Amino acid sequence: FFSKPRDFSLPNSSWGPEMMRLYEHYNSQCEAETEGGGKQKGPWRRIPSYNRSLKRKTSFFCVCFSGGVYLSKLIQSKARLFTRSIKEAGAAFEYVLFDNSDAQKCVGILQAGHLLEGPPGFVHGGAIATMIDTVTGAHAAVLSGPVMTANLNINYRSPIPLGSTVLLESSLDKTEGRKTFVSCQVTSSDGATLHTEATALFVSISVRKILD
């Protein structure tokens, strides 16, 4: 696997003005200017996003757990991260995540494409749950290392129009031993409409446990 993997969290031609506006808003805060006019790390960090996480790590797993892992070569070669599995740009999940470690927050900017339809003209509740799991899961992983979702509790407050751009904001509630509790709100891009609220529990796991 020699080619450089594509980072799906970078803008593409399908991103509309709202998606670009929010992207620029957070991306511009990934670097801050020093007093001397130089550059330093800002409060936010863009989280790169690939579609083949297992494939990229296969050689690592083979070295570390040689003989202990069985995944057929066919599955390995075809496996794709669910949210990055549809090739047509703009058709499904167009999103980018930013993390703010000082504020213990993570945001996701989502432009919901036409293949995510649930009720006519609106986004499917399962697609919304998927994105909440993605944003809160990435946030929990940044905070606590390898985790799996143990509980996801969602209240759908108002439907999300298909094609619109929404903001998902994840905040740390607390950590208790292996448990990381986070909350998430999904709002319209101007913040005026609350679409969805959720709480999630992530439990820290060892990578060996997933592979077993």
Binders of ligand MFK in range 15-54 (CB under 6 A): 47
Least gap, CB of 119 to ligand MFK (angstroms): 24
b (16+ CB within 10 A) / e for 138-158? bbbbbbbeebeeeebebeeee
Binding mask 133-162 for ligand MFK (x = CB under 6 A): xx--xx---------xxxx-----------
Distances 103 to 42, 110, 171, 174 between C-alpha atoms, Å: 12, 21, 8, 13
Give min distance, CB of 37 to ligand MFK, in A: 34
Asked whether 158 and 194 are in contact (CB, 8 A), the reply is yes
| Residues 157 to 186 in contact with ligand MFK, rule: CB under 6 A | 177-179
**For residues 169 and 113, is the Cβ–Cβ distance under 8 A?**
no
Q: Which is nearer to ligand MFK, 91 or 210 (CB)?
A: 210
Token digits of residue 26: 């957070």
In sequence order, which residues have a C-beta less than 8 Å from that of residue 45 and are 6 or more positions away?
A: 30, 98, 99, 100, 101
* Smallest gap from residue 81 Cβ to ligand MFK (A): 7
69 forms part of the interface with ligand MFK (CB under 6 A): no
Which candidate in 99, 102, 133, 212 is catalytic? Answer: 133
Q: Which is nearer to ligand MFK, 139 or 195 (by Cβ)? A: 139
Active site residue 133: yes
Nearest residue (CB) to ligand MFK, 9 versus 111: 9
Q: Which residues bind ligand MFK (CB under 6 A)?
A: 47, 133-134, 137-138, 148-151, 177-179, 201, 203, 205
Active-site positions? 133
